[in-house]
Structures are given as C-alpha cells and as structure tokens.
A = this chain, B = another copy of it.
Amino acid sequence: MIGLIRVFTAKDNEVLQAHGNLIHKQFEVPVMSRSIPDQPLGIYDDASEELALPKIVELGIQMEQEGCRLLIVSCAADPGVRELRSRVSIPVIGAGSSAALVALSLGEPVGLLGITEGIPPVMKVLLDELIVGYCRPEGVSNTTDLLTEAGRQTALEGARSLVQKGAKAIVFACTGFSTISFADVIRKELQVPVVDIVEAEGLMAANYYKQIISAS
C-alpha cells in the first residue's frame, strides 16, 4: 500500500481521496490517503507551514507503522519530505520535486501554472533556467475558483500566454489543477505536453512501489 498525505484537513472523503484515486486509476497501485488534523485551510504561509510540518512527519511515521511501503506528500511545496526521509525507512516522494524532475527530463523551457503567490522553492531550484514564466490565473486564488467556467477560461489563457513566451511544456505548480483534470484541456487546446503534478508523483511513486512489491 502507498500512503498519500494531504497537507490540509479534508472536509469530506471524496476530497481526501481525489489524488489517490487519480494515481490508482492511472498506475494501478493501491493508495491509502490521509490528511493532517486541524488545518482546514492547509498550508498558505510560513506560519501555517511551520504548524503543518510536525503533523506531516507524525502522520508519515504512523502510516509506515500501519504497513505503507512508500509515502507521497501530495503538495507542490514538498512540505515535510526532507524531514520524513530521515524519520522513516520507506521511500518518500514529493509532488513538487517529482513534477520538476519529469519536466527536466524533457529539457525544454517550461511555464508554470499555480494558484499561490510564487513558485514553490523546491520546483524553482530544480527547474531554474528552464522556467520562462509563472502564471497565477487572474481571479483564481483557490481551487474552487477553477471549478467555474470563468476560472477555467482564465487558467487556459494563462497557459496560452506561457506558450507564447516560449514554454514548450506547462508544469502544474499546484495540485488543484490535477483534481479538475486541467491537463487534458491544455493538451487538447494548446497541443503542448503538460506535467500534471499528481500524475508526476504517481509516476515516480508507482515506479518504486512496483519494484518493492515484486522483490518482497
């Protein structure tokens, strides 16, 4: 079983399972999702990240004890990934680093699409000079805004402007775009590859998980 950590307190089970379901469907691996307690708004600034870190580490340790063979921290900022790696004996995959690494394999200029103020540092450091721009679609500050037709249209225009700036691929710097399957919209409309951040963490996680299982 893969243990997937959501870094906010999910209000219902469907929301909690969203990333795990995408990964299970695409890579045929079993995923158990859990969310950290008492943070309904998740991580949105330094203080909320500091509050979340020990909860992520504690949850990861607990999931290893419950039998998980690999952990995913499903957030673009990779919060707690480094800390968890020193506290558990199983592999830990981060969403932000996975997406950046998949984009790096293409070796082409990329545009990042997010809903936060800036690019998560873990992605910025890895992609570095390949980044042609970052776009936070106007009027979109949380994933609910992406569920409206206006929000989707603005996000698509944002992706289009990144391609016009020279991006050869679009990289999601927020998992919210994965939840609404926005990658397919961009692929069809703009004919460029998209590094979907939940797909990327699933790609890396499933690759390691399958060998762990087949060797044991």
Contacts and interface: CB of A to CB of B under 8 A. Distances in A.
A214 B105 CA distance: 20
Nearest to A209: B193
Interface in A147-204: 183, 187-188, 191, 193-194, 199, 203-204
A46 to B, nearest CB: 23
A173 B101 CA distance: 18
A138 to B, nearest CB: 26
Contacts of A211: 183, 187, 193-194
Q: Which of A98, A102, A191, A215 has the most CB of B within 10 A?
A: A215
Given A91-B193, A193-B211, A85 B98 contact: no
Contact of A208 (B104, B106, B183): B106
A180 to B, nearest CB: 17
Interface string A58-98: 00000000000000000000000110010000011110011
A212 interface: yes
In the complex, the count of this chain's copies comes to 2
Query: Which size bracket describes the interface of A in this complex?
Result: 20 to 34
A104 B106 contact: no
Contact of A91 (B81, B85, B106, B207): B106
A93 B81 contact: no
A30 interface: no
A208 B193 contact: yes
A187 B58 CA distance: 29
A102 to B, nearest CB: 7
Contact of A105 (B93, B108, B187): B93
A37 interface: no
B204 A102 contact: yes
Contacts of A102: 101, 204, 207
A94 B96 CA distance: 22
A22 to B, nearest CB: 14
